[in-house]
Amino acid sequence: MRIIDVLFSQGFGTRRECAGLIAHGQVSVGGVTLDDPAAPVSAPGLQFKVQGVVWPYWPKALILLHKPAGYECSRKPKHHPSVLNLLPHPLRLRGMQPIGRLDEDTTGLLLLTDSGPLIHRLTSPKHHVAKVYEVGTKHPVDETQLQRLRDGVVLDDDPAPVRAAAAERTGDCALALTLTEGKYHQVKRMLAAVGNRVETLHRSRFGEWALSAELAPGQWRWLDAPPGC
């Protein structure tokens, strides 16, 4: 690939803007500053610098964000800032989208990508991708509530029972809930159906990815996208 095509594909602006970065000596590969937009580079495994910042080349990007409270998972937020504001400008220009949504008051693991096939793979109900939520409740959690969550509860917009793949008490007013579906406000509505109320909600795992304690709220990291995405 030409270096200008790499910059353009990675969200560094229009081709004219990318050419300007190169012309002003702002782009380097392997410690060598490039001044020719047509300079060839090998894309697989490529790392390059733009204005002193190291970037890896990804045909399709996948990142894990530790979502703080007070952000909406939307490109057009209504009441709070978008989680996309937490990403650097090139990633926002790439058209990154959240894979599923977390409410503005929900924290934890959020995946974002610009790969349509990956979004479909991880959100399609037929794939049953597990998501783990750490729930703080208003009232004490007992085994009767946990069993009802495992057996299935009926929500007001669907006669079919919605079941938790796992439900485990983690404290007097706390539980870990594993879901393989993604309905609107599902955790809050399921807890309401068994006579309790969600006070805090945090997603700690999504499929094969877990949220590391080293990643602070608002921080993000690159992930390897599954094959075919």
- What kind of fold does domain 3-56 have according to CATH? 3.10.290
- How many H-runs (helices) and E-runs (strands) does the chain carry? 6, 15
**Confidence (pLDDT) at 115:** 92
**Confidence (pLDDT) at 127:** 84
**Mean pLDDT value across residues 150-160:** 86
Query: Domain 130-206: which CATH class?
Result: alpha beta
**Mean pLDDT value across residues 109-128:** 91
**Mean pLDDT value across residues 139-143:** 96
> What is the Cα–Cα distance from 220 to 84, expressed in whole angstroms?
11
> What is the Cα–Cα distance from 160 to 53, expressed in whole angstroms?
51
Q: Is the pLDDT of residue 140 over 60?
A: yes
Q: Is the pLDDT of residue 77 over 70?
A: yes
Q: Is the pLDDT of residue 157 over 80?
A: no
For residue 15, the cross-strand partners are: none
Provide the pLDDT confidence category of residue 226 given band limits of 50, 70 and 90: low
- Does 3-56 match 62-124+209-222 in CATH topology? no
H-type helices in the chain, by residue range? 3-9, 15-23, 89-93, 116-123, 143-151, 186-193
Sign (positive/negative) of CA torsion 137, 142, 146, 148?
Answer: negative
* Nearest to 125, CA basis, from 91, 77, 162, 98: 162
**Mean pLDDT value across residues 120-131:** 88
**Mean pLDDT value across residues 182-206:** 94
**Mean pLDDT value across residues 140-165:** 92
> The pTM is what?
0.91
Provide the pLDDT confidence category of residue 222 given band limits of 50, 70 and 90: very high
**Confidence (pLDDT) at 126:** 82
**Confidence (pLDDT) at 79:** 87
**Confidence (pLDDT) at 182:** 80
Q: Is the pLDDT of residue 228 over 90?
A: no
**Confidence (pLDDT) at 229:** 52
Query: What CA dihedral angle connects 16, 21, 25 and 27, to 10 degrees?
Result: -120
DSSP class per residue in 156-200: TTEEEEE--SEEEEEETTEEEEEES---TTHHHHHHHHTT--EEE
How do the domains of the chain map onto residue ranges?
3-56, 62-124+209-222, 130-206
**Confidence (pLDDT) at 198:** 97
**Mean pLDDT value across residues 38-59:** 93
Give tens-digit pLDDT for 21-35: 999 999 999 999 999
Q: Is the pLDDT of residue 49 over 60?
A: yes
Q: Which residues carry out catalysis?
A: 103
Least confident of 71-80, 106-115, 166-175: 71-80
For 60, the 3-state DSSP assignment is coil
The architecture (CATH level 2) of 62-124+209-222 comes to: 2-Layer Sandwich (3.30)
